[in-house]
C-alpha cells in the first residue's frame, strides 16, 4: 500500500506484475491489502505462451537446452515437466484455484491475449466495462504495426508518436517439432477445459 500513489475516490490505481497470477502468496496478500481489488488477467494459448517464454529466454541465454528437452521428463511416455516455469504458468485452472479462495469470480476479468491482437479495442472495451468506467479507449487509439505483427497504441487522437511494446515483444518464435506441439496440446487440454468451465468463457485454444 505504501508503494501505491495517493488516489481519490474518483480515480483508479492500476498496478501490474506478470508473476502475481502464479505466485502462491499473492492472493492472500492482495486480499489483506484490499479485498475490493479488481483483478485483470491476460491469458493466451498455453502452448504458444510456453514457446514465446522459451524464445525470450533463449535470446538472453543462447546455451540453454532445447525446448523439447525442457518440456519433457520422458518424451516417449509423454511425461511433461510441470516444474519448468514456461509449462507451469499455462496451467491456468490450477493457479485460479488459489485466487478463488479469496476473491469471487465477479472480481476477476480475463482478457484474451489472441483477441488483444485481433481486436484490441473490443478487449479494452470489456476491460473498461469491468472497471465501471466510461469507454474512453476505442479503435481510434490503435493501429496495426506490420513489422511487429500486432497493434500499437496512439497516445491520443491528436498526439504525435505512437507507443509500441519493446524489442522483446513480437519476435519470431523458435520452430518447434509439430509432434511436440501436439503432445503439449494434449497435456493442456484438460486444464483448458476446466479453466473454460470455471470462468464461463471459451478461449478456443484447440
Q: Scanning the structure block, which residue is given the C-alpha cell 506441439?
A: 181
* Structural Rg of the chain based on CA atoms: 19
What CA–CA distance (Å, rounded) separates 37 from 14? 10
Is 132 assigned a ligand-binding role in the annotation?
no
DSSP element (H, E) containing 53: helix 46-60
Q: Tell me phi and psi for residue 182, to 5 degrees.
A: -65, -40
Q: How many CB atoms lie within 10 A of CB 152?
A: 17
DSSP element (H, E) containing 86: helix 85-88
* Integer CA distances (angstroms), 16 to 42, 70, 187, in order: 11, 28, 29
**What cell numbers appear for 201 in the block?**
468463457
Is 170 assigned a ligand-binding role in the annotation?
yes
Q: Scanning the structure block, which residue is given the C-alpha cell 465501471?
A: 132
Contact 176, 82 (CB under 8 A): no
Is 171 assigned a ligand-binding role in the annotation?
yes
Contact 172, 48 (CB under 8 A): no
Is 52 assigned a ligand-binding role in the annotation?
yes
Is 167 assigned a ligand-binding role in the annotation?
no
Q: Which residues are annotated as a binding site for 3'-phosphoadenylyl sulfate?
A: 44, 52, 169-173
Cite the annotated binding site by residue number: 44, 52, 169-173
Amino acid at each position: 500500500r505504501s508503494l501505491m500513489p495517493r488516489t481519490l475516490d474518483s480515480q483508479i490505481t492500476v498496478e501490474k506484475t506478470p508473476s502475481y497470477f502464479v505466485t502462491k502468496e499473492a492472493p492472500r496478500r492482495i486480499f489483506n491489502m484490499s479485498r475490493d481489488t479488481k483483478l485483470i488477467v491476460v491469458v493466451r494459448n498455453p502452448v504458444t505462451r510456453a514457446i514465446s517464454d522459451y524464445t525470450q529466454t533463449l535470446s538472453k541465454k543462447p546455451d540453454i537446452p532445447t525446448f523439447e528437452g525442457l518440456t519433457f521428463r520422458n518424451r516417449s511416455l509423454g511425461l511433461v515437466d510441470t516444474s519448468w516455469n514456461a509449462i507451469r504458468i499455462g496451467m491456468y485452472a490450477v493457479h485460479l484455484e488459489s485466487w478463488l479462495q479469496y476473491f469471487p469470480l465477479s472480481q476477476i476479468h480475463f482478457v484474451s491475449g489472441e483477441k488483444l491482437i485481433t481486436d484490441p479495442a473490443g478487449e479494452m472495451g470489456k476491460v473498461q466495462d469491468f472497471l465501471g468506467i466510461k469507454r474512453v479507449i476505442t479503435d481510434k487509439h490503435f493501429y496495426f504495426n506490420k513489422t511487429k505483427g500486432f497493434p500499437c497504441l496512439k497516445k491520443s487522437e491528436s498526439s504525435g508518436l505512437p507507443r509500441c511494446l519493446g524489442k522483446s515483444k513480437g519476435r519470431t518464435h523458435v520452430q518447434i517439432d509439430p509432434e511436440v506441439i501436439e503432445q503439449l496440446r494434449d497435456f493442456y487440454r484438460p486444464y483448458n477445459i476446466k479453466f473454460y468451465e470455471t470462468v464461463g468463457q471459451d478461449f478456443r485454444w484447440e
